[in-house]
Amino acid sequence: MSVDVTVIGLGYVGLPLVQEAVRAGLVVRGFDINGGVVDALNAGHSHIDDISDDELAEILSGGFEASTDEAVIADADTVVICVPTPLGEDGGPDLQAVEGSVHAIARNLTPGTLVILESTTYPGTTDEVVRPILEAGGLTAGTDFHLAFSPERIDPGNAQFGAKNTPKVVGGYTPECGDMAAAFYGRFVDTVVRAKGTREAETAKLLENTYRHINIALVNEMARFCHDLGIDLWDVIDAAKTKPFGFQAFYPGPGVGGHCIPIDPNYLSYNVRAKLGYPFRFVELAQEINTTMPAYVVQRAQDLLNEDARAMRGATVLLLGVTYKPNIADQRESPAVPVARQLLDKGADVRFHDPHVSSWSAFGDVVPCVPDLDAAVREADLVVLLQNHRAYDVAALAAASHRFFDTRGVAAPGDRVHRL
């Protein structure tokens, strides 16, 4: 059977892509080196928030199969790489998963194949890393096979925008490569946006998340001095966002998390330093501000306990919501981890509750999940809302708390309710 596309990496990026391609009638295969993930998917069990088991059943009924055998690459007209690119020790992207995927493609590359990299990385990766590996076997990009970059824009938990209706940026190694990639995505994505080339498409993704990173840092910095000046920043933002032009609301919080904001801007900063020899100062300052927010939250927590003549050491602190964003189970780079770690270092008895997490992978039994939320709130010396899951009745939780520290600006402030 001819395969339209093989997707390499079946996680938060790859699986939604598979879903839309199958819905459009494409013959789709998946490749992942994690045998547990592959077996679970083929058995109908999804491991990501955005794809339910019922939706996965529809995908499987559409003919999708996952495999750990790289031979599924050779059968495909198009191969899309959707593997993680975490930060390496040098501050740049760790490309081991990308390079491993590309080597697997190179071993199975046939003339006419379209290869697309979706994994976020620094500008130049497609041309400088991916292309040489693929061409080592004798085929030439732009002549014998097609090569393109199309940044993933998946926003886990977003009910409004998914893989189909989020515009797809595409940059080809050559204009013809771009044409092929645009035609491929046009089969199941509503809008395809052509970038000049692969470097422009790579940089577009980094610009999107650098913009968010810097603006989040701005309001995080404002949260600190507004608190010291007795100014309600949340009210300030509500007033400012009534302007119908020239302003986009961003909100402070206990830090930044997930697979994009804490990581992607560093790719750009790393690339600027490595290739040009000078810093990307906006990014580095934003990183400094955002990474110190957990410590600021812990300091505020200590100050609130002091108001009750309670030392941090031995105090019971209940953390609500430990995922990096609301209404999902994803814990990647969650700022709740450094908050909890610093509370523990100061001697606090830390506990947590999260409707999406039963066991906190970062701490195991050291930070237990409370079995009874209402009882835990009443017993805690301080309750800290780190993530505003829709399952929480914040007003009721705040009313039942001895002290309630809201880092998300959703509780009405009062004598015993305090906002970031």
pLDDT of residue 202: 96
Plot region of 416 (φ>0 → left; ψ -120 to 50 → alpha; else → beta): alpha
265, 420 Cβ separation under 8 angstroms: no
- The model's confidence at residue 56, banded by pLDDT at 50, 70 and 90, is very high
- The model's confidence at residue 117, banded by pLDDT at 50, 70 and 90, is very high
Summarize pLDDT for 193-212 with one digit per residue, the tens: 999 999 999 999 999 999 99
CA distances in angstroms from 154 to 15, 269, 302, listed in the order given? 10, 22, 37
List the CATH code of the domain at 205-289.
1.10.1040.10
* Closest of 266, 300, 271 to residue 407, by C-alpha: 300
List the CATH code of the domain at 3-196.
3.40.50.720
pLDDT of residue 379: 97
Question: What count of residues does the chain have?
Answer: 420
Summarize pLDDT for 66-105 with one digit per residue, the tens: 999 999 999 999 999 999 998 777 767 889 999 999 999 9
As a whole number of angstroms, the distance between CA 41 and CA 35 comes to 10
pLDDT of residue 173: 98
Summarize pLDDT for 154-181 with one digit per residue, the tens: 888 888 999 999 999 999 999 999 999 9
Query: Mean pLDDT across the chain, nearest whole number?
Result: 94
Torsion of CA 277, 281, 286, 291, to 10 degrees: 50
- The model's confidence at residue 225, banded by pLDDT at 50, 70 and 90, is very high
SS3 29: strand
| Top-confidence residue, 1 or 378 | 378
List of residues 6+ apart from 179 with CB closer than 8 A: 172
Per the residue annotation, which of 82, 177, 260, 369 is the catalytic one? 260
pLDDT of residue 125: 95
- The model's confidence at residue 49, banded by pLDDT at 50, 70 and 90, is confident
- The model's confidence at residue 220, banded by pLDDT at 50, 70 and 90, is very high
pLDDT > 70 fraction of the chain, expressed in percent and rounded: 99
Both tokens assigned to 276: 């040009």
pLDDT of residue 258: 72
For 270, other C-beta atoms within 10 Å of its C-beta total: 19
- The model's confidence at residue 332, banded by pLDDT at 50, 70 and 90, is confident
Residue 264 has pLDDT above 80, yes or no: no
CA distances in angstroms from 80 to 186, 215, 340, listed in the order given? 15, 32, 38
Both tokens assigned to 338: 């450094």
Q: Which residue has the tokens 């790393």?
A: 270
Q: How buried is 292 (Cβ within 10 angstroms: 0-12 exposed, 13-18 middle, 19+ buried)?
A: middle
Q: Do domains 3-196 and 292-419 have the same CATH topology?
A: yes
pLDDT > 90 fraction of the chain, expressed in percent and rounded: 83
As a whole number of angstroms, the distance between CA 192 and CA 26 comes to 18
Residue 248 has pLDDT above 70, yes or no: yes
pLDDT of residue 43: 97
As a whole number of angstroms, the distance between CA 123 and CA 204 comes to 9
List the CATH code of the domain at 292-419.
3.40.50.720
As a whole number of angstroms, the distance between CA 318 and CA 305 comes to 13
Residue 259 has pLDDT above 90, yes or no: no
- The model's confidence at residue 1, banded by pLDDT at 50, 70 and 90, is low
| Listed range (164-173, 244-253, 361-370, 397-406) with the worst mean pLDDT | 361-370
Q: Which residue has the tokens 């879903």?
A: 19
Domain boundaries, the chain: 3-196, 205-289, 292-419
What are the strands of the beta sheet with 192-194, ordered from one edge? 65-67, 28-31, 3-8, 76-81, 114-117, 146-149, 168-172, 192-194
Task: Judge whether 260 counts as a catalytic residue.
Answer: yes
* Closest of 12, 10, 72 to residue 35, by C-alpha: 10
As a whole number of angstroms, the distance between CA 126 and CA 118 comes to 10
pLDDT of residue 343: 97
* Closest of 139, 54, 129 to residue 95, by C-alpha: 129
